[in-house]
Amino acid sequence: MFEFRFYSVAPGRMASELALVHDMGFAGAPEEPGGPPAHAGSLWDRYGVHRPLGSWAVLSGRQAPGFLYIIRWNSMKERDERFPRFWTDPFWRARRAELTDGQPLVDSIETWLLEPSAAWCKAGTDPVPGPVGGVHELRIENVLNGSQAEAADRLGGVDLPALRELGARLLGVFEVTIGPERPRFVTLLAWPDLDTQQRAWFAMDRHPVVRAQRERERRRHGRDLLGPADAYLLEPISWNLPHADLGVAP
């Protein structure tokens, strides 16, 4: 189970929001009077909250400025036990109060639960391991209800191979299990640069295999299986760069 957390950051507060997440999830945890001793792990480590598979700042999109990360959990039970324990930590409360300084860091938070889509398995793993930099892209697409399997087959068998030909790397594809406007797919791509990303999407509109697939869908369903994408350009955060395939097997 994967948890997708999207923070709509208040204007001018991105630096403080990034500092708060870094201090909780990645910096060493301090000693607490009458509590746990200092240790090299983070405060999240102390409470068993898994470190994010990747963190990103939103460069452009409907909810910019924004910040997001993805955590992998073993179960809902694990998630519901560990996050609440962390939220009671005195250092967390003190550091948040210090950084907010009486003003909110975020305007809203969206939390979705995701499962890997069959499209990810069909597209296959990234052959190059290790951290993935560049410009990243988040694409959120509504799916024609009842056609999730067919849509996943099209995404993994047609769209993603074409995008790889045009310079993309696939970080992951998910189906939303708890969240708004289901059924919905969430795709994370990585590009070497913005120019490659823009050229690729122009080319996708003329790609013969992609066009033929769209025409088949319209004849059968009267529309595309996937709706217009709610798309975001992302900057991967240097202290939490995602790895190929988000470091997990699809």
**Is-contact 45 30, C-beta < 8 A?**
no
- Residue 95 and residue 141 share a domain: no
Predicted confidence at residue 175, as pLDDT, reads: 97
Number of domains in the chain: 2
- Residue 11 and residue 87 share a domain: yes
**Is-contact 125 185, C-beta < 8 A?**
no
CATH of the domain at 152: 3.30.70.100
- Residue 108 and residue 7 share a domain: yes
End-to-end CA distance of the chain: 12
**How far, in Å, CA of 205 to CA of 211, rounded?**
7
- Residue 143 and residue 97 share a domain: no
The mean per-residue pLDDT over the stretch 161-165 comes to 97
**Confidence check: pLDDT of 140 > 80:** yes
Predicted confidence at residue 184, as pLDDT, reads: 95
**Confidence check: pLDDT of 38 > 80:** no
Predicted confidence at residue 36, as pLDDT, reads: 66
Expressed as residue numbers, the domain containing 241 is: 117-247
Write out pLDDT tens, residues 51-61: 999 999 999 98
Given 112, 142, 161, which residue is the final one in a domain?
112
Rounded mean pLDDT of the chain?
A: 93
- Residue 186 and residue 99 share a domain: no
What b-and-e string marks burial along 232-249, b requiring 16 or more CB atoms within 10 Å of the CB?
bbbebbeebebebbbeee
- Residue 238 and residue 125 share a domain: yes
- Residue 131 and residue 243 share a domain: yes
Given 94, 112, 130, which residue is the final one in a domain?
112
- Residue 103 and residue 70 share a domain: yes
Write out pLDDT tens, residues 79-102: 999 999 998 888 888 888 999 888
**How far, in Å, CA of 117 to CA of 109, rounded?**
24
- Residue 147 and residue 52 share a domain: no
Give the number of other Cβ atoms within 10 Å of residue 198's Cβ: 12
Given 112, 136, 169, which residue is the final one in a domain?
112
- Residue 105 and residue 7 share a domain: yes
Give 28's pLDDT tier (boundaries 50, 70, 90).
Answer: confident
**Is-contact 36 46, C-beta < 8 A?**
yes
Q: Are strands 54-60 and 106-116 parallel, antiparallel or unpaired?
A: unpaired
- Residue 121 and residue 86 share a domain: no
**How far, in Å, CA of 236 to CA of 133, rounded?**
7
**Is-contact 232 135, C-beta < 8 A?**
no
- Residue 90 and residue 136 share a domain: no
